[in-house]
């Protein structure tokens, strides 16, 4: 897979930007994990304060994919923690992006995987 920068994608696709088909992450996301740059085919999930589906997806072989989780931006609880991220690393996921909170930041930072989230909290999902 050829590496193309976000700026190049935006420059080459102004109509897709205007239509909303191509969007860049706002710079509110913090980077976690040992891979600061990651890419791959994207799988998306929409959840709210519940990580059951997230955990189920990360139990599958990642095959270099990136999981993007729309957690609604909730700051009340984490929808991703250290154990599922270790499993994702071991299953070959390239990275995980979370619009919401993560927890176990030190454990995640030790993983050979890319990660971004909008915030962190010690509280687990129920």
* The pLDDT of residue 27: 73
Domain encompassing residue 69: 26-120
Residue the block writes with tokens 């931006």: 73
pLDDT of residue 24: 77
pLDDT at 48: 96
Write down the pLDDT at residue 68. Answer: 97
Average pLDDT, the chain: 93
In a domain, 20, yes or no: no
- Specify if 11 maps to a domain: no
pTM of the model: 0.81
pLDDT in tens, 10-51: 899 889 889 988 887 777 889 999 999 999 999 999 999 999
The annotated binding site for substrate is made up of 81-84, 103
Share of the chain above pLDDT 70, in %: 98
Q: What is the pLDDT of residue 101?
A: 96
Based on the structure, what is the number of domains in the chain?
1
pLDDT at position 1, please?
A: 58
Annotated binding site for Mg(2+): 104
- The answer to the question of residue 4 being in a domain is no
Binding residues: 81-84, 103-104
89 pLDDT more than 80:
yes
Assign 3-class secondary structure to the chain: CCCCCHHHHHHHCHHHHHHCCCCCCCCCCEEECCECCCCCCEEEEECCCCCHHHHHHHHCCCCCCEEEEECCCCCCCEEECHHHHHHHHHCCCCEEEEEEEECCHHHHHCCCCEEEEEEECCCECC
Residues 43, 32: Cα–Cα separation, whole Å: 19
CATH of the domain at 78: 3.50.30.40
2 lies in some domain? no
Q: Is 69 part of a structural domain of the chain?
A: yes
């Amino acid at each position: 897979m050829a590496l193309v920068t976000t700026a190049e994608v935006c420059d080459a696709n102004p109509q897709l930007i205007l239509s909303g088909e191509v969007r860049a992450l706002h710079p509110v996301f913090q980077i976690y994990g040992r891979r600061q740059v990651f890419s791959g085919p994207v799988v998306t999930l929409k959840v709210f304060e519940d990580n059951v589906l997230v955990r189920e997806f990360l139990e599958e072989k990642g095959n270099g994919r990136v999981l993007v989780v729309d957690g609604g931006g909730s700051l009340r609880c984490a929808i991703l923690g250290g154990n599922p991220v270790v499993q994702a690393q071991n299953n070959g996921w390239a990275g995980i992006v979370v619009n919401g909170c993560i927890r176990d930041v030190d454990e995640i930072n030790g993983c050979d995987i890319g990660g971004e989230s909008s915030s962190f909290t010690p509280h687990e999902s129920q």
